[in-house]
Amino acid sequence: MKVTFYGHASLGIEINGKHILVDPFISGNEKAASIDIDELRADYILVTHAHQDHILDVEAIAKRTGAVIVSNYEIVVHYQNLGLNGHPMNHGGSWQFDFGRVKYVNAIHTSSFPDGTYGGQPGGFVIEADKTIYIAGDTALTYDMKLIGKQFDLDLVILPIGDNFTMGVEDAIIASNYVKCDNVLGYHYDTFGYIEIDKPKAKAKFDSQLKSLKLLNIGESMMVK
């Protein structure tokens, strides 16, 4: 399993030749100007919630690639009404896709579309394939994360660390304890003023708890071990 960071909360995940995009917000992120959305491959697009900074490029990429949009019921119906492919889920449910098993899990956040219409409830994803990863989405620290630690043996957890709209670094350290995974990829930071962080300080805080905080450059990939 290979994970590529496309800036903000946008990820590319490659599993056995299948390409999964998560929360594509690239054309609106000036820090991700090096990424051309017309070049991105997608068999699936996983969407955690309906906020602009998670869905901006979903429609264009799904239209071009025919990718299946996987999200909560309300978000998927929104895209199906635009003629796009979708697979609706809701919290606590799992589905076996051709690349692996996906569970849509709880997040504490909000989820309106940019025009204010209802975007269902926000979530995160656990993906079980050759490796098992948890993508938290935009969320506060929540005790529900302990369930993920009980039910899954995670190889990587992807957590928001930018604070203000989501948990910050201190809570992300607690979240990594709850999900029982010390291998953390941070995201949802530095894109705009409210979520700028001191990266060396954040890494040092994780180091002091004998955990590893990985921060990828935009366009950089890592193999999940």
Based on the shown chain and the rule CB under 5 A, indicate whether residue 190 belongs to the binding site for Mn ion.
no
Q: How far is the CB of 109 from Ni ion (least distance, A)?
A: 6
Nearest to Ni ion of 51, 103 (CB atom) = 51
Nearest to Mn ion of 51, 131 (CB atom) = 51
Nearest to Mn ion of 138, 190 (CB atom) = 138
Q: How far is the CB of 22 from Ni ion (least distance, A)?
A: 13
Token pair in block for residue 62: 């799904």
Pick left, alpha or beta for residue 190 (phi over 0 → left; psi -120 to 50 → alpha; otherwise beta). left
Measured CA to CA, the distance from residue 69 to residue 120 in angstroms comes to 15
Nearest to Mn ion of 53, 163 (CB atom) = 53
Query: Mask 136-175, x = binds Mn ion (CB under 5 A)?
Result: --x-------------------------------------
Q: How far is the CB of 31 from Ni ion (least distance, A)?
A: 17
Measured CA to CA, the distance from residue 92 to residue 46 in angstroms comes to 16
Residue 163 interacting entry, from Ni ion, Mn ion, none, C-beta within 5 to 8 Å by type:
none
Cα–Cα distances (Å) from 180 to 48, 106, 129, 154, in that order, read: 22, 17, 18, 7
CA 119 to chain centre: 16
Residues 6+ positions from 13 with CB-CB distance below 8 Å? 1, 2, 3, 4, 19, 20, 21, 22, 127, 133
Q: How far is the CB of 119 from Ni ion (least distance, A)?
A: 10
Binding site for Mn ion (CB under 5 A): 53, 138
